[in-house]
Structure 1
């Protein structure tokens, strides 16, 4: 008896103008078989064809969006059916801020698919409401507001460059509260309870990557206790994510400017996660902005 080759299935969805086409091209470059605008009702058929290909097609990515209109409501039922068959489809959800989406639609001079007789912003609002529940259940949410094409490709490559396993992959993002919260963060931690090296003249010019700043931050009362206890919490959360079939976690840790405390703490936390077997990527979002 011939055993069907294992199959990876990715669903690319999210807001119009947020980068679904770019994500699809990235996956295609990574060797995925990509289908654009496939009605959800045909997902099971596409999966079956992939399983019958005897390994010729073992990674399929499908773009599902509101162009499907009547078909879109069937997506959840189709995903449940696939999971009941032992598949673990990964759902990638792309989004961006309203102002960014409006600017992108203005640039290409095309209407939003849901704006009707209204404005682009009306279509964005309708689509955001329609997809809210799906966003909450997605495996990976990427906010492309501040990403260029190369940065988005790097994130896609990190998430989908290798056939998926059961290991949790985490992106640890340091940030400054003065610049706003990272919109795609699953968890946010605040390290402003620690003394700010900005007010230490010998440390102010440096960053949390420099040994003197790092040692100063980690030596403060509560710093290592925070790391130790938060690592325990993340281990618990990570195990739950894996059990639920979610493989991606974006963890943000912030201080005032995103230069000293959050950078040092993010590096330390990433090291701890890596030691627990988590695939880790570190991003210092606001480093260099001051």
Structure 2
């Protein structure tokens, strides 16, 4: 095996004793992901990207030292760095143990996440995608799996966290990954975008829900309100004072609760609620703001976007 290059600990990263594990919540963080082929490494990497980690897939082990040099405690640096290192690296993967030892000796803390699954499930997954195992080399899939297990046995013992994906679906795996990396409450929240729009400009393509508020009287036909928008107090008071407006907002938000809870259960982290009127200037804007306020009162994370505000 080749000797890994010398490591320079980047400025701003606290040195750790070799026997001291990296603090879970400390920044910057280095996470090494490895494990059995077919056990879900790619899905784990995608989850980390959604959590705002900088992720590098299929990295040769020797490049971990250079990758660590990208980390910085400064505001413009890389704070959360994840590298997927596995047997696809072929002869380069054999140096992983040496590189990990060198990282510890240099005082750079990291965590090692190992993904595993039963042989039977791994065989099923490879057969389902009709791709060979990286170490199969013309033999049976089981032969490649056996060689990989032997190669990874020492690495698995070093892991800070092991996730067995045998019985997990993609949503279960995402939850386990978030737990393993210590994702905070903010990471587990559903991000909601309440988007106002005008039907005459088309329904937003990314809308998960579309609400039509053209059942409310149009302020456009009131001379004093025509030049204003739903963000202006006179229009807002007019629209929300119309019969059924407040009742609609309250009942719609109530009806959304099981939907939003279901999104989280199914690992959907973003939702767009589109609120439309004719031109996207008066009614949809006022109601979108009211819906956003009601959702925030229930503890939801909400941003408001007015797509067609300002169009002629």
Q: What do the CA deviations read for 1:151-210 (whole angstroms, capped 9, x no partner)?
A: 1111111121448xxxxxxxxxxxxxxxxxxxxxxxxxxxxxxxxxxxxxxxxxxxxxxx
Alpha-carbon shift at residue 29 of structure 1 (Å): 0.7
Q: What do the CA deviations read for 1:75-126 (whole angstroms, capped 9, x no partner)?
A: 1111111112222211111110111000000100001111112111111111
* Gaps in structure 2 of 5+ consecutive residues: 1-9, 14-26, 185-312
Q: What do the CA deviations read for 1:207-239 (whole angstroms, capped 9, x no partner)?
A: xxxxxxxxxxxxxxxxxxxxxxxxxxxxxxxxx
TM-score (norm 1): 0.53
2:101 to 63, 68, 80: 80
| Aligned counterparts of 1:3 and 1:53: Cα–Cα separation in 2 | 9
* Structure 2 counterpart of 1:64: 85
> Runs (4+) of structure 1 moved beyond 4 Å?
52-55
Alpha-carbon shift at residue 54 of structure 1 (Å): 5.2
* Gaps in structure 1 of 5+ consecutive residues: 164-290
2:117 to 79, 96, 99: 96
* Structure 2 counterpart of 1:119: 140
* Structure 2 counterpart of 1:4: 12
Q: Please give the root-mean-square deviation of Cα atoms over the aligned residues, in Å.
A: 1.8
Q: What do the CA deviations read for 1:251-274 (whole angstroms, capped 9, x no partner)?
A: xxxxxxxxxxxxxxxxxxxxxxxx
* Structure 1 counterpart of 2:166: 145
| Aligned counterparts of 2:93 and 2:11: Cα–Cα separation in 1 | 32
Alpha-carbon shift at residue 4 of structure 1 (Å): 1.9
Over 3 Å counting, the alpha-carbon distance change for 1:90 and 1:55 in structure 2 is farther
Question: Greater Rg, structure 1 or structure 2?
Answer: 2
Over 3 Å counting, the alpha-carbon distance change for 1:111 and 1:162 in structure 2 is same
Asked if 1 retains the 8 angstrom alpha-carbon contact of 2:34 and 2:84, the reply is yes
Over 3 Å counting, the alpha-carbon distance change for 1:47 and 1:73 in structure 2 is same
For the pair 1:44 / 2:65, whether they are aligned, the reply is yes
